[in-house]
């Protein structure tokens, strides 16, 4: 079976945020995930990085310390620091199969592929694994929606980004499968429903906690940090 390319993509402004290095950590994680699965957006992002190269070239050069070059040359033979940087990868504890479900950026974050995750139940048929918590209630997490289950109807206080990793879901705006990105803002009130033939696993980045809007769920709002 041929691997299908995604049909729902992030917008240019999101790719620019990522290429320029201005995206939040959670959004960058989601975009790196989509880019791993989307050759078309990879080409776009590469063009934006080329733009970054051009902009650096056009900057007036800054004055550097007189001995900067000497000091740098002297450091060339120094042993490489053990951890190359704070972005050094987390040790991958579980062996990764030849066709991992999670792209590298996510595997580095969770320490292995999807079977490494510890899910915690949120609601019936919906589990989550929290990855990053940011300021103002921003959260990045993996969600698992059991086959045929729906996420409670909700709107959004900030923008919500979802990238599908396995299975698929549908809402008013269409069907989303592996690699597809759904972006919802305040104006979107939706109830994503997982495909009937398998669990849907996706990466979700929310800028602020979502607000439940269904009649019943609205009562739960103060209690459920969904």
State which of positions 104-133 bind another protein (CB under 8 A). 104-105, 108-109
**Strand order in 120-123's β-sheet?**
120-123, 126-133, 139-145, 200-206, 160-166, 181-184
Interacting residues with Zn ion between 23 and 62 (CB under 5 A): 38, 41
Contact 142, 201 (CB under 8 A): yes
Q: Which of 1, 82, 85, 223 binds another protein (CB under 8 A)?
A: 85
The reply to whether 22 sits near another protein by the rule CB under 8 A is: yes
CB of 211 to another protein, least distance (A): 19
Cβ distance to another protein smaller for residue 13 or 196: 13
Buried b vs exposed e over 184-211: b needs ≥16 C-beta within 10 Å? beeebebbbbbbeeebbbbbbbbbbbbe
Collect all residues with Cβ–Cβ distance below 8 Å to 71 and sequence separation of at least 6: 65
Q: What residues numbered 136-195 form the site for another protein, per CB under 8 A?
A: 159, 179
23 sits near another protein (criterion: CB under 8 A): yes
For the record, the structure tokens of 65 come out as: 């310390």
Pick from another protein, Zn ion, none: which does 24 bind, CB < 5 to 8 A by kind? another protein
Least distance in angstroms from the C-beta of 200 to another protein: 18
- Chain residues that interact with Zn ion, rule: CB under 5 A: 9, 38, 41
């Amino acid at each position: 079976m041929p691997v299908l390319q995604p049909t729902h993509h992030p917008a240019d402004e999101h790719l620019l945020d990522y290429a320029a290095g201005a995206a939040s950590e959670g959004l960058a994680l989601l975009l790196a995930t989509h880019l791993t699965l989307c050759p078309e957006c990879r080409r776009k992002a590469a063009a934006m990085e080329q733009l970054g190269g051009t902009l650096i070239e056009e900057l007036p050069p800054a004055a550097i310390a007189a001995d900067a070059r000497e000091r740098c040359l002297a450091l060339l033979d120094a042993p490489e620091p053990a951890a190359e940087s704070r972005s050094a990868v987390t040790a991958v504890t579980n062996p990764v199969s030849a066709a991992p479900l999670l792209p590298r950026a996510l595997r580095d974050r969770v320490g292995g592929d999807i079977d490494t995750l510890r899910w915690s139940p949120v609601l019936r048929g919906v589990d989550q694994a929290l990855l990053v918590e940011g300021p103002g209630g921003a959260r990045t997490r993996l969600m698992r929606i059991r086959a045929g289950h729906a996420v409670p109807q909700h709107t959004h206080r900030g923008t919500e980004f979802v990238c599908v990793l396995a299975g698929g879901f549908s809402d008013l705006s269409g069907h989303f499968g592996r690699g597809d990105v759904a972006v919802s803002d305040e104006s979107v009130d939706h109830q994503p429903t997982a495909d009937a033939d398998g669990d849907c696993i996706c990466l979700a980045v929310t800028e602020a906690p979502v607000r439940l809007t269904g009649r019943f769920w609205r009562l739960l709002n103060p209690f459920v940090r969904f």
